[in-house]
Structure 1
């Protein structure tokens, strides 16, 4: 499981920004932008959690802290009982992370990209071959394995990125908007893969703006608005607190209620 407690992260504003300040965002104060002010949630084994929030809410900053790319100013992130804020190497070994800006080595083939990262995680020989072949089949990659990454379509690149992110069989998988820009067939492959991770008992956190994906996949939801987690619970409670059976409306109601506080 993964448990997130009281994450905070701020970024220093430039002198020029402070001088010409026009923003009314309350997170800009004391010379800092407080991107994440208080975020907490949890995702148990065999659960899928949807991370929701308006653009600029702090979701990406939160995910980058979970990946250990950013160090929180305060708070804790527990994976397998270990605080990965204090032990970031454990976090990198335990988490499979796909960011919205993940890139591939353009001159390497899809297969070479995945297997390169497998070796970085210590896989070799028969275990590497078996793991990669399973991913290639599961993600429907066999038709383009030999193609250079620079010539792959958007969907092919995303499948390769996902395989690269999970090749080391992580304890937790985190996906940042994994279906954005994908065609219907590729999107379905990705959603099916998330279901398979759940069936294997792997906790999955994914951010999305598509509430239909949340309805299909998620056991839990966390809503972040203006750097604060204003909801963390199961889908039934989400609908109840949002006062709507329709997830889009429930989301809007929860965010509006948080902004009125």
Structure 2
């Protein structure tokens, strides 16, 4: 459902060329949750921007449901849902007005949008919020509304960028239930997060990015076998501090 092949992006600053993303390749199947993980500067955000069609790759392709984002970014965006830590709600609209507005932007017929909203409001327990102004909501309530907004047009691919940042324990559990719903409904999901302990619980497979390159990928069991480490945080520590793992001569 999501295919990335040899995706490359480099930037030039102060006469130095930096490969933000270096020949990245991966695929995510329907019903699969893929953790694209890495420290700040690893290339996660640049990768998501290329998938979203906001940044044009220097090489390679990003393909969403068979549509290359660099060829037809508008058609590709219609197949994507995106949720980030920044809620970006429209404070003077009611929650219902805002969600139906976004459905209309994606070309969802009004009757379909109403049905879809009722279904998702039940999934995320926001029925009591629909007629409140979005600006009056708490942080956790805004996050639930944002999660519904990402699914209002029923996209086959979902991108989640640091979805649990700034949330309390209850909010984090809401994200977990949401991702469970995405898996059950056959969405291809990419999760970018610094919370490696959460990623271990959430994701089916992982891609460990460091300095723009995919250093390790596979299931947690496969990563443990290939790295000799039990947890993702230990694997990243080895990547970022290779001299600490070298055997003295």
Q: Distance in 2 between matches of 1:157 and 1:4?
A: 31
Q: Distance in 2 between matches of 1:258 and 1:201?
A: 42
Question: Are residue 145 (structure 1) and residue 130 (structure 2) matched?
Answer: yes
Query: What is the number of equivalent residue pairs in this alignment?
Result: 246
- Aligned runs of 1:149-168 on 2, under 5 Å? 149-168=134-153
Provide the residue aligned with 1:177 in structure 2.
162
The correspondence for 1:200, drawn from 185, 191, 196, is 185
User: Does structure 1 retain, via aligned residues, the 8 Å contact 2:87–2:143?
Assistant: no
Deviation at 1:12, TM superposition (A): 4.1
Give the secondary structure class of the aligned counterpart of 1:252.
Answer: helix
Root-mean-square deviation (Å):
2.2
The correspondence for 1:221, drawn from 202, 206, 224, is 206
Unaligned runs of 5+ in 1: 19-29
Question: Are residue 10 (structure 1) and residue 10 (structure 2) matched?
Answer: yes
Provide the residue aligned with 2:90 in structure 1.
105
Deviation at 1:31, TM superposition (A): 4.4
The correspondence for 2:33, drawn from 35, 42, 48, is 48
Deviation at 1:90, TM superposition (A): 2.1
Deviation at 1:253, TM superposition (A): 2.8
User: Does structure 2 retain, via aligned residues, the 8 Å contact 1:111–1:146?
Assistant: yes
Provide the residue aligned with 2:114 in structure 1.
129
Unaligned runs of 5+ in 2: none
Q: Distance in 1 between matches of 2:240 and 2:224?
A: 13
Change (3 A) 1:244 1:110: same
Q: Distance in 2 between matches of 1:65 and 1:3?
A: 12
Change (3 A) 1:205 1:7: same
Taking structure 2 as the reference length, the TM-score comes to: 0.90
- Deviation by residue 1:141-183 (Cα, 9 ceiling, x = unmatched): 1232222222222212221222111111101101101111112
Q: Distance in 1 between matches of 2:56 and 2:197?
A: 32
Deviation at 1:140, TM superposition (A): 1.6
Provide the residue aligned with 1:59 in structure 2.
44
Deviation at 1:70, TM superposition (A): 1.4
